[in-house]
Chain A
Amino acid sequence: MLINAKELDYSALNQKIREADGDCNISECLGQRFIGAGMSDKHIEISGIPGNAMGAYLNGAEITVNGNAQDAVGDTMNNGKIVIHGSVGDAVGYAMRGGKIYVKNNAGYRAGIHMKEYKEKKPVMVIGGRTGSFLGEYQAGGLIIILGMNKGQTPTVGNFPCTGMHGGKVFLRGDVNGITLPKQVSVRAATNEDIMEIKPYINEFCRLFGFEQEKIMSEKFTVIFPDSKNPYKQMYVQN
């Protein structure tokens, strides 16, 4: 179903999406928030720029944005897929519990913070460019993959990544030179096993955005992972 978002506010737009029988193609999107919140059974394609909290609590639906998206994309997402043919704002994938987010270019601050996993339910986020500061704070699970393409001389991630990280993995393409990490995480060059773990997602990233997988995989990857699942264990005394 074609939906022209012009002059629709977010609740009217979301109502139309909810009522639509099948997939939705939204044109002239201009900052409407919460698109697809909690939805489970649709493919939503968006032309224009969706507003904050797109795909919040997403529960299996798929959203494709033909351009940039704003803050809080995929907040507390449970399942499904979000594909951004551009860049995203801050806090993408906050507390994501499942599903996949692919961003062609850059992400803002606080990407992937509080990401979780449980058994086979493992969220994945792939960012093609670089991210701002506070990447993966409090990460408790899942995979965050930052490819750092077209980053120029700037580091792949901004300041203070992985503070409070106690689960999951962050993959950075290239090394971590110039990036200061907290003491409760460890760093290693990606092993074959690590590479096998991310390969399917790199593959899908390339397929979605038309990159060459070989070229991306030709560079080395670095893995950041937590030292301990209990980073604050020693801090307390019973009173």
Chain B
Amino acid sequence: MGISYIYPEFEVVRNTARCIGCRVCEKQCANGVHLFDPELGCMTADDAKCVDCQRCVALCPTRALKIIKNDCTFRENANWQADTIKEIYKQAESGGVLLSSMGNPKPLPVYWDKILINASQVTNPPIDPLREPMETRVFLGKKPSTIERKADGSLKTELAPQLELSMPVMFSAMSYGSISYNAHESLARAAKELGIYYNTGEGGLHEDFYCYGENTVVQIASGRFGVHEEYLSTGAAIEIKMGQGAKPGIGGHLPGTKIVGDVSRTRMIPEGSDAISPAPHHDIYSIEDLRQLVFSLKEATNYKKPIIVKVAAVHNIAAIASGIARSGADIIAIDGFRGGTGAAPTRIRDSVGIPIELALAAVDQRLRDEGIRNNVSLIAGGSIRSASDIVKAIALGADACYIATSALIALGCHLCRTCQTGKCNWGIATQRPELVKRLNPDIGSERLVNLLTAWRHEIMELMGGMGINSIEALRGNRLMLRGINLTEKELEILGISHAGE
């Protein structure tokens, strides 16, 4: 094998005056960066193996370590930037498809940051959430479009099945296999305590987590891993995954190396065997076929569970959503192109799909125009980073938001974007027992509860500022939003005015 052309991306800087040679960094690094050299009697580092996950930095008892971006650069070139050159080296060396993880890191527009929220002044007083009741509860599912009465004049009150959320947030799909047992336990326990839902992803439901069924959305995708009658009847809702924001148009592929022990049993495939979810569901080639899958699930669960259809935000998303709304689905989840992933081909993650902000606005408008908005609830996902992102999403037309990357960051993820290697030093995206145990579900679930409790307070304060006391009154209320630094076309799609208008 020839020499590698790739110079290390990061540099491990060790303050030798502070280092006490305790070797914690060595024990903590699954990538094998740190090594004690007995001859020199000191710690050494192989920068090339470092992924900048900051585990050693966080655990170094004397703060002797820092990881910095290596300042060894190629000759500056605005067209051929360093990442582009390195990617070519990697492919020239291996002949492989570039595989990345987590969401799109490219400097593409984040519309949330170009949308501003209104507040009341003088004529319509703001509401103080400390002294006024504020409703953050939402119900997801099909709503009746007309009031119907029985023969005796009383109201018909039977509703299609609904999901009740204490606040408009759910943890989006991450499979057991792509993330660890302890990460799943943290999510499940937090969802239960918060009165929201987490999502199994397409990896089945571990037997230990059936007890969280009331707060679980069970997913079925093209590979149908871990799907059986008990799985379907345990979940509070069933999600059909048609697409994912990080990799629209392609399927999933969990490598055999991650199909070990419980992951193998939960997916019901042999150890070491690849878990392949192809791009299409091979029984869905049309909205009519989707309708068939939706109703087969409703029949199998006796019409007790709402059915979610999850799609990636792509160019014709409004028309696609219109079809889904007519397929009998109760909820549509739209995943924008900045959404995370445990592994996706780089080229697809970084260049396929559209931002959730534009997709959401377009879908909400289309469903309203067609008079079918009440047929479905909308969940928006794909990089929801804060309470204000949630408020903006709801004002653009979402009923609730999916979060996953934010939740993983709360659990300790440092966004080093190497989930696909299975060597997550924070115990999240790994199945290695010695790494998994680093994530304590007691602490993990508490951190998630803390995060969302704080977000709920922030949502209430933002709503109060607008003089709005319930999420229902905020939904689709685009008058509460103004754009900044946006073109007329962008404003038109978002359905909002420019700041100052």
Contacts and interface: CB of A to CB of B under 8 A. Distances in A.
Interface of A: 10-11, 14, 18, 33-34, 37-38, 40, 52-53, 56-57, 59, 71-72, 75-76, 78, 90-91, 94-95, 97, 110, 113-114, 116-119, 121, 134, 137-138, 140-141, 164, 166-167, 229-239
Contacts of B97: 235-237
15 contacts: A11-B303, A33-B296, A37-B296, A38-B229, A57-B227, A78-B229, A113-B282, A114-B222, A117-B269, A118-B264, A137-B282, A138-B223, A167-B269, A232-B253, A235-B97
Contacts of A97: 224, 227-228, 268
A59 B296 contact: no
Given A118-B269, A229-B272, A236-B96, A37 B300 contact: yes
* B interface bracket (residues with beta carbon within 8 Å of A): 35 or more
Contacts of B228: 57, 59, 76, 78, 97
Contact of A11 (B94, B292, B299): B299
Contacts of A110: 282-283
A11 B301 CA distance: 12
A71 B269 CA distance: 25
B161 interface: no
B265 interface: yes
B296 A230 contact: no
A95 B296 contact: no
Interface string B210-254: 000000000010111101111011000000000000000000010
Given A167-B270, A230-B255, A230-B256, A237 B292 contact: no
Contacts of B420: 236, 238
Nearest to B265: A118
Contacts of A116: 224-225, 268-269
A238 B90 CA distance: 8
Given A95-B227, A238-B99, A167 B296 contact: no
A38 B299 contact: yes
A229 B273 contact: yes
B292 A33 contact: yes
Contacts of A166: 273-274, 276
A138 B270 contact: no
Given A230-B273, A239-B87, 8 more contacts: A18-B302, A76-B220, A121-B268, A138-B223, A138-B276, A141-B269, A232-B274, A238-B418
B36 interface: no
Closest 3 CB pairs of A and B: A38-B300, A237-B96, A95-B224
B22 to A, nearest CB: 30
Nearest to B295: A34
Interface string B266-288: 00111011111010001100000
Contact of A167 (B100, B229, B273, B299): B273
Interface string B343-354: 001100000000
Interface string B89-109: 011011111111000000000
A121 B275 CA distance: 17
Contact of B227 (A76, A233, A234, A235): A76
B276 A140 contact: yes
Nearest to B349: A239
B96 A235 contact: yes
A236 B348 CA distance: 13
Contacts of B99: 236-239
Contacts, number: 153
Which of A38, A40, A164, A167 neighbours the largest number of chain B CB atoms within 10 Å of its CB?
A: A38
A100 B293 CA distance: 21
Contacts of B95: 237
A237 B93 CA distance: 9
Contacts of B253: 232
Contacts of B303: 11
B421 interface: yes
B295 A239 contact: no
Given A114-B224, A116-B268, A232-B253, A75 B94 contact: no
Given A37-B296, A78-B229, A118 B283 contact: no
Given A57-B232, A237-B91, A34 B274 contact: no
Contacts of B297: 57
Which of B98, B273, B296 neighbours the largest number of chain A CB atoms within 10 Å of its CB?
A: B296
B369 to A, nearest CB: 30
A52 B299 CA distance: 13
Contact of A52 (B87, B94, B96, B292): B292
A38 to B, nearest CB: 3
A68 B283 CA distance: 19
A229 B296 contact: no
A97 B204 CA distance: 13
Contacts of A235: 96-97
B94 A237 contact: yes
B65 to A, nearest CB: 24
B229 A59 contact: yes
A34 B299 CA distance: 7
A164 B278 contact: yes
Contacts of B270: 117-119, 141, 167, 229
A230 B225 CA distance: 17
B274 A230 contact: yes
Contact of B300 (A56, A117, A237): A56
A118 B274 contact: no
A238 B300 CA distance: 41
A239 B98 contact: yes
A114 B223 contact: yes
A234 B96 contact: yes
A201 to B, nearest CB: 21
